Amino acid sequence: MRERVARNNADLVPRAARDSRAASIAKLELKAKPKIRVIHWVPYDAVGGVETAARSIGIGDFDTLQFHRGYIANKSRKVSGKFEHHGLFSSENNPINYIQAIIKTFNLRPDIIISSLWRSSIIALLAKVIRPETRVVAFIHSSSATHIIDRVLTNILMRYSVEIWVDSKSTLDNRVQKRQAYRSRIISFVLNDVKHPPRLSLTPSFIFWGRLHPHKGLNRALRLFASVHRRYPTASFTIIGPDAGAERNLRRLSRVLGVEERVQFKGTMSYDQIAAEAASHSFYLQTSEREGMAMSVVQAMQFGLVPVVTPVGEIANYCSEESSIIINNDEKACEEVLKALREPRTYYLRSTAAQNYWNNKPLYREDVISGCYEIMDKGNYK
């Protein structure tokens, strides 16, 4: 009888009011739950793939997850906020920046620390010593170590991490030991699922974006471009990104090759600016010596550019002859480019295949957030 009365009384309450009350109760329950505090440490803010991906996830509250981002050094001269920390000094070698980062981590008392690149390993390892219950994630972004310090620190961090995250299968195979594979996770480096219009024009125009670092092998890219330029004097090569030690030599080489007037160095650009610039180009040219996921190549394919790339890191797994021009031999790669320019149909087939490859793939933000929740669900302290 009581159940029937209760049910009848509930029926008297309008559906909208019941739904509103249920939503309010859900919000109160959500507020009552303690936030899962996560901090992602990166050496400094820049335009590389690691930094761009880290920024894409945003900071602040996501339901029961509270996401913080920390930069050891302050090269961008930004002011720290509630959810984002910047070191006092611009140098990533200044010990005061590391002390400050440790203090920030200690005061925050995060549940999870995500460590990207070897300098961040110092912060994560010290935080683990100070507060052993902290869950640490070693996030590896390249299929090969930069140097011996990188290799040693990263290997130590992996040993004490609750999970090991990698940017690609290539990085997993080359950096993670088989006995550690059970606690490893590949994180997608697709930042968005924006659909770009198909290519409607074909010109001998090449573009690159990323750090101008020696390991990007852009000297090889310039030589390949010069070979195309000899056949197509109107060919152009746009190079976007901050100098990381290679720009001076690249400018000198462009003069030696006689293509100085056809090569533009445009410095740092935002994602939207890069997208706008890419719209007037046909090929993405990158001749890296080593890579992890190579996020710029992923973005170029989403834009519909045809990659002309060396098969290093994960590039070898997602770039194929159907969508790309693979550089195993410079002369043959040049001939493939010239053929694509002579036969537009082959270019458009590759361009379409490049765009289609990344349709409906998981996003970086989704993988990182779900990874954090799954770590907490394990209740596993390392």
Residue 187 sits at φ, ψ, to 5 deg, of: -100, 130
The pLDDT of residue 47: 79
Q: Do domains 35-191+362-378 and 205-357 have the same CATH topology?
A: yes
Rounded Cα–Cα distance for residues 181 and 164 (Å): 8
Residue 20: the pLDDT is 54
DSSP type of residue 233? T
Q: What is the bridge-based pairing of β-strands 60-62 and 184-186? A: unpaired
Beta pairing partners, 114: 40, 137
d(CA 151, CA 117): 11
Q: Where are the alpha helices (DSSP H) in the chain?
A: 2-12, 15-32, 49-56, 95-108, 118-130, 148-159, 169-175, 218-231, 247-256, 271-278, 295-303, 315-318, 330-342, 344-357, 364-378
Four-residue CA torsion sign, 375, 379, 380, 382:
positive
Higher pLDDT, 2 or 279: 279
Q: What are the domain boundaries of the chain?
A: 35-191+362-378, 205-357
| Residue 255 main-chain phi, psi, to 5 deg | -70, -45
Burial class (CB in 10 A: 0-12, 13-18, 19+), 130: exposed
**pLDDT of 7 higher than 50:** no
Residues 6+ apart with CB under 8 A from 170: 143, 292, 313, 314, 316, 317
Model confidence at 22, pLDDT cuts 50, 70, 90, reads low
- Count Cβ atoms within 10 A of the Cβ of residue 155 and give its class: 0-12 exposed, 13-18 middle, 19 or more buried: middle
Cα distances (Å, whole numbers) of residue 119 to 95, 125, 153: 11, 11, 8
pLDDT given for residue 49 in this prediction: 86
Average pLDDT, the chain: 89
Residues 156, 158, 163, CA angle at the centre, nearest 5°? Answer: 155
Let me know if 160 is exposed, middle or buried by CB neighbors in 10 A (0-12, 13-18, 19+): middle
Question: What does the pLDDT look like over 194-209, one tens digit per residue?
Answer: 777 777 789 999 999 9
pTM flag (> 0.85): no
pLDDT at position 19 is 54
Does the structural domain 35-191+362-378 have CATH classification 3.40.50.300? no
At 81-135, the pLDDT tens digits run 999 999 999 999 999 999 999 999 999 999 999 999 999 999 999 999 999 999 9
Judged against a pLDDT cut of 60, whether residue 25 lies above it is answered with no
Q: What Cα–Cα distance (Å) separates residue 122 from each residue in 43, 88, 136, 188, 325?
A: 10, 17, 12, 25, 40
- Across the range 239-246, mean pLDDT stands at 93
pLDDT of residue 8: 40
For the stretch 56-86, pLDDT in tens is 988 999 889 999 999 999 988 888 999 999 9
pLDDT digits (tens, 9 = 90+) for 266-302: 999 988 899 999 999 999 999 999 898 999 999 999 9
What are the residues whose beta carbons fall under 8 Å from the beta carbon of 125, sequence distance 6 or more?
136, 153, 156, 157, 160
What tokens were used for 232? 């197509």
d(CA 63, CA 347): 45
For residue 136, give the amino acid letter: V
- Write the CATH number of the domain with boundaries 205-357: 3.40.50.2000
